[in-house]
Amino acid sequence: MRNPSSATPHDKAHDGAKREVMQTKMSRRQFLKIGVSAVVGVGVAGGAYASLWEPHQLDIKRLTLAFPSLPKAFDGMKIVQFSDMHLGFHTGVKDVARVVQAIQHEQPDMICFTGDMVDGNTEDMRAAIQPFTELKAPLGLFSILGNHDYGDVETLISLEEEAGFQVLRNTAVKLRRDGAVIAVAGLDDVFWGQPDPKTAIQDLPDGMFKLLLMHEPDYADTTAAYSFHLQLSGHSHGGQIRLPWVGEVITPPGAKRYVQGLYTIGSQGMLLYVNRGIGTTQLPFRFLCKPELTVLTLRSMA
pLDDT, position 294: 98
27 — pLDDT class (breaks 50, 70, 90): low
Rounded to whole angstroms, the Cα distance separating 294 from 63 reads 8
pLDDT at 5 over 90: no
For 9-23, 31-45, 107-121, 137-151, which range has the lowest pLDDT when averaged over its residues? Answer: 31-45
Q: Which residues contact 298 (CB under 8 A, 6 or more apart)?
A: 64, 65, 66, 67, 70, 74, 75, 76, 77, 78, 79, 230
Rounded to whole angstroms, the Cα distance separating 237 from 84 reads 8
Can you tell me the mean pLDDT for 230-238? Answer: 98
Can you tell me the mean pLDDT for 221-233? Answer: 98
Rounded to whole angstroms, the Cα distance separating 277 from 113 reads 10
The backbone torsions φ and ψ at residue 185, rounded to the nearest 5 degrees and listed phi first, read -120, 155
> Helix, strand, coil % (nearest 5) of the chain?
35, 25, 40
Per-residue pLDDT tens for 67-94? 999 999 999 999 999 999 999 999 999 9
pTM: 0.84
Q: What is the mean pLDDT of the chain?
A: 88
Rounded to whole angstroms, the Cα distance separating 115 from 214 reads 8
- 129: closest CA among 90, 94, 159? 159
**Going edge to edge, which strands form the sheet with 210-213?**
171-177, 180-186, 210-213, 230-233, 270-274, 261-265
pLDDT, position 302: 75
Rounded to whole angstroms, the Cα distance separating 222 from 204 reads 18
pLDDT at 171 over 80: yes
Strand partners, 78: 297
pLDDT, position 54: 65
Domain 60-300 falls in which CATH fold? Purple Acid Phosphatase; chain A, domain 2 (3.60.21)
- 63: closest CA among 302, 301, 292? 292
Can you tell me the mean pLDDT for 206-211? Answer: 96
Please, is 240 exposed, middle or buried when counting C-beta atoms within 10 Å of its C-beta (0-12, 13-18, 19+)?
Answer: buried
pLDDT at 32 over 50: no
pLDDT at 224 over 90: yes
Per-residue pLDDT tens for 37-57? 333 333 434 444 554 456 578
pLDDT at 25 over 90: no
Rounded to whole angstroms, the Cα distance separating 180 from 56 reads 40
Rounded to whole angstroms, the Cα distance separating 243 from 276 reads 15
Rounded to whole angstroms, the Cα distance separating 185 from 105 reads 25
pLDDT, position 269: 97
Contact 66, 299 (CB under 8 A): yes
Rounded to whole angstroms, the Cα distance separating 187 from 142 reads 12
Per-residue pLDDT tens for 248-277? 999 999 999 999 999 999 999 999 999 999
pLDDT, position 74: 98
- 105: closest CA among 84, 78, 127? 78
Contact 302, 68 (CB under 8 A): yes
Stronger pLDDT, 132 or 49, i.e. the higher one: 132
Per-residue pLDDT tens for 284-295? 999 999 999 999
Q: Using alpha carbons only, how large is the chain's radius of gyration in Å?
A: 28
pLDDT > 70 fraction of the chain, expressed in percent and rounded = 82
Can you tell me the mean pLDDT for 121-136? Answer: 97
